[in-house]
Amino acid sequence: MGILQLLTRKKAAVVQKDRPVPKHIAIILDGNGRWASKRGLPRTAGHAAGSENFRRIATYCKNIGVDYLTIYAFSTENWKRSQEEVSAIMGLLKQYLFEALDEMEKDHIRLRFFGDLSRLAPELQELAQKTLETSKKYDGFQTNVCLNYGGRDEIVRAARAFAQKCVAGECTPESLNEQVFSSYLDSAGIPDPELIIRPSGELRVSNFLLWQSAYSEYYFTNVLWPDFTEEELEKAIASFNRRNRRFGGV
Ligand code: FPP
- The predicted-structure confidence for 133-170, as pLDDT tens digits, reads as follows 999 999 999 999 999 999 999 999 999 999 999 999 99
Q: Which residues line ligand 1 (CB under 6 A)?
A: 29-34, 47, 50-51, 54, 71, 73, 78, 89, 92-93, 96, 145, 200
To 10 degrees, the CA torsion angle through 169, 161, 135, 144?
Answer: -150
Please identify every residue annotated as catalytic.
30, 78
Average pLDDT over the chain, rounded to whole?
93
Ligand 1 centroid to 141 CA: how many Å? 23
The predicted structure's pLDDT at residue 15: 52
Q: What letter would DSSP give residue 81?
A: S
- For residue 217, what pLDDT band results from cuts at 50, 70 and 90? very high
Ligand 1 centroid to 177 CA: how many Å? 35
CA distance 48 to 174: 48
Every domain of the chain and the residues it spans: 3-11+23-151+192-240
CA distance 20 to 6: 20
Contact between 57 and 232 under an 8 Å Cβ cutoff? The reply is no
pTM of the entire predicted model: 0.92
- The CATH number assigned to the domain with range 3-11+23-151+192-240 reads 3.40.1180.10
Tell me the β-bridge partners of 71.
27, 145
